[in-house]
């Protein structure tokens, strides 16, 4: 495999700061051991998310300067619509401030209270909006997606039998729509095959079910189809993406990922009635239908970015960089989700910290430990992210992961080397790591703002400590 360098030159740099272990200890304590609550200035390499963290191109910065800031009828909106029509093939577009704004609107439009919404694994904000609209989410992803070691090339696929079984159980009329995410974030950035999309479409057509996609990472999904699915090796990713989307009635988009912008999102669809409803709602929750909570310049930057993200060379480097990091970890024996996905490397925290139970929050703990080691910020995607069910009980997801999410066009492979070395150091002393417990938990989307503290040392360890360090007890307030 020949070396692949960044398919761009660096024109502007943003200095980042290294920190001492003492500074990091103070910072993580102040953040309640939640990496979401760290200050960015205390972070050395930020792998919290690939969302809104992309570096824009010179063309996008130029487009920004041409933004039309008219309250209504801005030319920037026309640019976005043209770009979506050309690259994604949907006639109608309704901008929103980001992906969850689009999820909010489509959930309100398509879900009648009491209806069911199947999807290929949940995403946090998506499911919350479905539930707030009175829907019940059903996971219809293939079983392999829940197995970090399965080598299935399309672990994001919908399990057609599970989907059919749900239709048989509740009736097609009670299914609001199916939401197919490309790629599947919570499964590890895993793709869905074209054959699977086609097969889901057939079932939908047979039963009159609406088929939408969370197309947030569609370009990365299309690249995997080119790599892995028969008949696509010689096609351009842009063509594959358009073919994928041709099967859907509409999409919700977080522009913060595969449109390479720092903020933005939209709904795109074929049905004019859905557009009309979206426009009725967007003015209430987001802004006028031609800006949807964004500035004109944001729309212009998104119109350019969504085309750039479909470039074959860009994607080969992008996914190659994620793979580079993943392979370094795998070679050192660190348990990761395989195959390595499109936007992130996911560490199997349950296997990494196999002496902790899931209620001792292994992924939350590991994210805090990696930050302490090197200032690298990662994200929990396990029991904390899964939250509580409608009855108030903790959900226990099968996957307990730490996500090392690679921002687009931001870091080099030297940064990836630093990250790999840090994770490997923590792996070597994993047996000494104790879990965390909640000290504050908000009612929804708890992973964003919960606070934690280390679990107390086991009795025998505390006892030994008291003998060795008697001043410890007297110094306590
Ligand atoms: N769908 C998927 C698959 C996502 O990954 C996200 C965001 C959204 C929808 C919501 O979009 O943030 O623009 O409102 N994912 C980010 C992440 C937050 O870090 O994975 P948004």
Q: Are 124 and 264 in a shared domain? A: yes
CA 14 to chain centre: 24
Q: Of 308, 331, 346, which residue is a domain's last? A: 308
CA 267 to chain centre: 18
Q: Are 92 and 167 in a shared domain? A: yes
CA 381–ligand 1 middle distance (angstroms): 13
Q: Of 292, 308, 324, which residue is a domain's last? A: 308
Which atom of ligand 1 sits closest to the CA of residue 102? 14
CA 263 to chain centre: 15
CA distance 257 to 82: 19
Q: Are 216 and 83 in a shared domain? A: yes
Pairing of strands 136-139, 116-119: parallel
Q: Are 269 and 363 in a shared domain? A: no
User: By C-alpha distance, which of 141, 128, 222 is closest to 178?
Assistant: 141
Q: Are 207 and 350 in a shared domain? A: no
CA distance 285 to 186: 27
Q: Are 82 and 206 in a shared domain? A: yes
Number of structural domains (the chain) is 2
Is residue 7, in this structure, part of any structural domain at all? no
Angle between helices 237-245 and 194-207 (to 10 degrees): 20
Is residue 125, in this structure, part of any structural domain at all? yes
Is residue 289, in this structure, part of any structural domain at all? yes
Q: Are 250 and 363 in a shared domain? A: no
Q: Are 223 and 263 in a shared domain? A: yes
CATH number at residue 70: 3.40.640.10
Is residue 33, in this structure, part of any structural domain at all? yes
Annotated active-site residue 124? The verdict is yes
Q: Residues lining ligand 1, judged by CB closer than 6 Å?
A: 49, 51, 98-100, 123, 125-126, 181, 185, 214, 216, 254, 256, 265
Please pick, among 44, 123, 266, 291, the residue that the annotation labels catalytic.
Answer: 123
CA distance 101 to 357: 36
Domain with 211 in it: 58-308
What pLDDT does 463 receive? 52
Please pick, among 226, 257, 377, 409, the residue that the annotation labels catalytic.
Answer: 257
Angle between helices 237-245 and 218-228 (to 10 degrees): 110
Q: Are 321 and 279 in a shared domain? A: no
What pLDDT does 76 receive? 98
Pairing of strands 211-214, 178-181: parallel
Is residue 219, in this structure, part of any structural domain at all? yes
Is residue 16, in this structure, part of any structural domain at all? no
Q: Whose CA is nearest to atom 19 of ligand 1?
A: 49
CA distance 54 to 185: 17
Angstrom CA distances, 1 to 4, 320, 324, stand at: 9, 11, 12
Annotated active-site residue 431? The verdict is no
CATH number at residue 433: 3.90.1150.10
Q: Are 185 and 332 in a shared domain? A: no
User: By C-alpha distance, which of 394, 374, 377 is closest to 386?
Assistant: 394
Q: Of 308, 330, 350, which residue is a domain's last? A: 308
CA distance 448 to 3: 38
CA 254–ligand 1 middle distance (angstroms): 6
Is residue 465, in this structure, part of any structural domain at all? no
Which residues, at least 6 apart from 70, have a Cβ–Cβ distance to it below 8 Å? 296
Q: Whose CA is nearest to atom 16 of ligand 1?
A: 51
Angle between helices 312-331 and 413-428 (to 10 degrees): 20
Q: Are 412 and 393 in a shared domain? A: yes
DSSP state letter for 186: T
How buried is residue 98: exposed, middle or buried, by Cβ count under 10 Å (0-12/13-18/19+)? buried
Per-10-residue mean pLDDT for the chain, 477 residues long?
Answer: 87 95 98 98 98 98 98 97 98 98 98 98 94 97 95 98 98 98 96 98 98 98 98 98 98 98 98 98 98 98 98 98 98 97 97 97 98 98 93 93 98 97 98 97 93 88 49 38
Radius of gyration (C-alpha) of the chain in whole angstroms: 23
CA 95–ligand 1 middle distance (angstroms): 16
What pLDDT does 457 receive? 85
CA 127–ligand 1 middle distance (angstroms): 11
Q: Are 218 and 97 in a shared domain? A: yes
**Is residue 282 a contact partner of residue 289, using CB atoms and an 8 Å limit?**
yes
Is residue 477, in this structure, part of any structural domain at all? no
What pLDDT does 117 receive? 98
Annotated active-site residue 346? The verdict is no
């Amino acid at each position: 495999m020949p070396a692949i360098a960044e398919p761009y030159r660096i024109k502007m740099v943003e200095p980042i700061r290294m920190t001492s272990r003492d500074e990091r200890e103070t910072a993580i304590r102040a953040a309640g051991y939640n990496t979401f609550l760290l200050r960015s200035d205390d972070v050395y390499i930020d792998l919290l998310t690939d969302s809104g963290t992309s570096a824009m191109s010179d063309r996008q910065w130029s487009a920004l300067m041409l933004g039309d800031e008219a309250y209504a009828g801005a030319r920037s909106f026309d640019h976005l619509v043209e770009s979506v029509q050309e690259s994604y093939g949907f006639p109608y577009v309704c901008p929103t401030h980001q992906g969850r704004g689009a999820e909010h609107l489509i959930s309100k439009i398509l879900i009648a209270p009491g209806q069911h919404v199947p999807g290929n694994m949940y995403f946090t904000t998506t499911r919350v909006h479905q539930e707030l609209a009175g829907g019940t989410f059903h996971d219809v992803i293939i079983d392999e997606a829940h197995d970090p070691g399965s080598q299935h090339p399309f672990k994001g696929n919908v399990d057609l039998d599970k989907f059919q079984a749900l239709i048989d159980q509740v009736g097609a009329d009670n299914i609001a729509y199916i939401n197919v995410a490309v790629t599947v974030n919570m499964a590890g950035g895993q793709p869905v095959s074209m054959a699977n999309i086609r097969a889901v479409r057939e079932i939908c057509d047979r039963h009159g079910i609406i088929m939408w996609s969370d197309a947030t990472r569609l370009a990365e999904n299309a690249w995997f189809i080119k790599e892995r699915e028969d008949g696509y090796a010689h096609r351009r990713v842009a063509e594959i993406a358009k073919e994928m989307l041709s099967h859907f009635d509409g999409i919700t988009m977080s522009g913060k990922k595969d449109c390479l912008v720092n903020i933005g999102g939209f709904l795109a669809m074929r049905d004019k009635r859905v557009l009309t409803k979206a426009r009725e709602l967007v003015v209430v929750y987001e802004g006028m239908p031609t800006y949807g909570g964004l500035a004109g310049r944001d729309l212009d930057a998104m119109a350019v970015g969504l085309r750039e993200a479909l470039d074959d060379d860009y994607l080969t480097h992008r996914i190659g960089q994620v793979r580079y990091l993943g392979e370094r970890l795998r070679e050192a024996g660190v348990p990761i989700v395989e195959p390595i996905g499109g936007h992130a490397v996911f560490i199997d925290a349950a296997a990494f910290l196999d002496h902790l139970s899931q209620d001792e929050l292994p992924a939350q703990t590991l994210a805090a430990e990696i930050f302490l080691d090197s200032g690298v910020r990662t994200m929990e995607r396990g029991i904390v992210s899964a939250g509580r069910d409608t009855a108030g009980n903790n959900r226990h997801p099968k996957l307990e992961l730490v996500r090392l999410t690679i921002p687009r066009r931001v870091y080099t492979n030297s940064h990836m080397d630093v990250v790999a070395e840090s994770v490997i150091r923590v792996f070597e002393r994993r047996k000494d790591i104790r879990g965390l417990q909640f000290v504050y938990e908000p009612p929804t989307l708890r992973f964003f703002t919960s606070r934690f503290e280390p679990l107390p040392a086991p009795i025998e360890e505390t006892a030994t400590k008291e003998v060795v360090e008697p001043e410890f007890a007297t110094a306590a307030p």
